[in-house]
Structure 1
């Protein structure tokens, strides 16, 4: 066997090995389809992968043809030249179909159509009992968050259907589909991120332990404080110097805090909500004294995890609201907060 024959055999073996590209290409196409149907980021991944897969596979097919055709080999039988190109045609066809399928599946479907989701009736979860934020006045709800919803309604034309929710049932209502979105002092919280995405924030609130200046006459000491808190906002381990009791509602904590006969003299609460409830009772905001601040609470619109595109669209709307309407809405509904709590912009990362 001379050198020319050995080269021919090697190239033929190489060509046969490259034919394994065909099942690999089919498997890649199947994987692309599966990725495209992943409800969150699979479509993005599939679309990105489709182009390099198509280019690499097509080049491999061309290489297979070229490697199996020595320049000095005997003349092929009639029609044989057409057979040389079937690997190229097969591989290019399979990968092109995978790429087109990934792109088509990546296009907005009915579930991702933001215009459709923001048309017709939109079920919106609110608290409905916090003055200045969302509270019913006759037949209509009013408040800062209602002003945000009105702004969104003017832009998209949906019909809001308000659903009053206790803070402890907000996330469950969103996950079960009882409401489409949440606009009820709903905070961005890492523990919720597994099932919820957040458009916003539209307000930044302080969170901490506040005491009643009427009950605590001297600089407060943790050991002398008996606090009230909701179970879902129970203070962190470093607050154990203060004794806390659970309450069923924010209003209950407020009543106990300002009842001179009740032992509760502190609350663990969001500042703006506490001040809003106090003002409604005719109290001076200066009667509320910060004992210890813990963090900031970011209020955002909550959506089920499958609605990232809607979340991003609402985030852009919130940016416009911050620039165009936020100051007027805060001055009208939350004047006692002196315009505090305004974010600079919404964060698209919360929609991931």
Structure 2
């Protein structure tokens, strides 16, 4: 009788310990019953909302994997559109728990938010027509270059790399790709991962290629509200596991392979390439 009571008491104590541990971990992350993740809604191959309301892309796959490792089912994820200009505000206001949205790690941004990762090393590059004659960035001088209005990539080309390029600025990269397809421009510039996502769309497969010039290093990280080191550590552990079990590589191939994207190997967690 006493033995059975002792076993029962031990079991109860163990259950309480497990429950308390689970609660403390959730509180340490600062997350609720649902996790709110900021992504892009309009970037094919990275973060795209389909017409049926579902989401697809490499950033989406990374976000779902991380959320699962943090203890959330697919149905417990709420994706929230987070445009580039709104990422810091969304994190600091608590509108999202973390951001996975082609978010390059920079010193200026690190002053406002914390980062896990990086989870992808991208580069500024050019998208050109297959078998075109642009072999290096200087070949853009006298040619028509397309990017979105206010793009730092386009300004980098004009200011530092090919000052005599004729720059066309439009509202979206989709407009740039249509102009490239129609011969109205000679190249499109932004990060190679973004270019690969657009070029992987069915209507553009086998029409374009990435020049492979690697004009900058863009370390994509996962943004977290400043000071939440427990969440940063939890996300980093999830990213390491994603690489180790090869889910990271499958996600790259699933989203970028139609564009023949010559992607970099998975970066080391915490290793920012200057």
Answer yes or no: same fold by TM over 0.5: yes
RMSD of Structure 2 on Structure 1 (CA): 3.0
- The 2-side partners of 1:318 and 1:342 are apart by 13
How far does residue 238 in structure 1 lie from its aligned partner after superposition?
Answer: 0.8
- The 2-side partners of 1:291 and 1:326 are apart by 22
1:342 is aligned, of 229, 241, 265, to 265
Question: Structure 1: any 5+ residue segments left out of the alignment?
Answer: 1-109
Count matched residues. Answer: 238
2:173 is equivalent to residue 250 of structure 1: yes
Alignment of 1:21-60 (within 5 A): none
2:37 is equivalent to residue 120 of structure 1: no
- The 1-side partners of 2:44 and 2:77 are apart by 20
- The 1-side partners of 2:252 and 2:102 are apart by 14
Question: Structure 2: any 5+ residue segments left out of the alignment?
Answer: 1-22
2:104 is equivalent to residue 187 of structure 1: yes
Are the structure 2 counterparts of residues 290 and 305 from structure 1 closer, same or farther at C-alpha, using a change threshold of 3 Å? Answer: same
Are the structure 2 counterparts of residues 333 and 195 from structure 1 closer, same or farther at C-alpha, using a change threshold of 3 Å? Answer: same
- The 1-side partners of 2:186 and 2:262 are apart by 28
- The 2-side partners of 1:298 and 1:343 are apart by 11
- The 1-side partners of 2:193 and 2:233 are apart by 26
Larger RCO: 1 or 2 (CA < 8 Å, sep 6+): 2
Between structures 1 and 2, the one with greater helix share: 1
8 Å Cα contact 2:181-2:207 kept in structure 1: no
Deviations 1:76-104 (A, max 9, x none): xxxxxxxxxxxxxxxxxxxxxxxxxxxxx
How far does residue 163 in structure 1 lie from its aligned partner after superposition?
Answer: 1.1
8 Å Cα contact 2:129-2:209 kept in structure 1: yes
Between structures 1 and 2, the one with greater strand share: 2
Task: Quote the residue 1:233 is aligned against.
Answer: 152
- The 2-side partners of 1:285 and 1:189 are apart by 34
Task: Quote the residue 2:142 is aligned against.
Answer: 224
Deviations 1:103-132 (A, max 9, x none): xxxxxxx99966552441222111122222
Task: Quote the residue 1:12 is aligned against.
Answer: none
Give the stretch that moved more between structures: 182-191 or 217-226: 217-226
8 Å Cα contact 1:124-1:181 kept in structure 2: yes
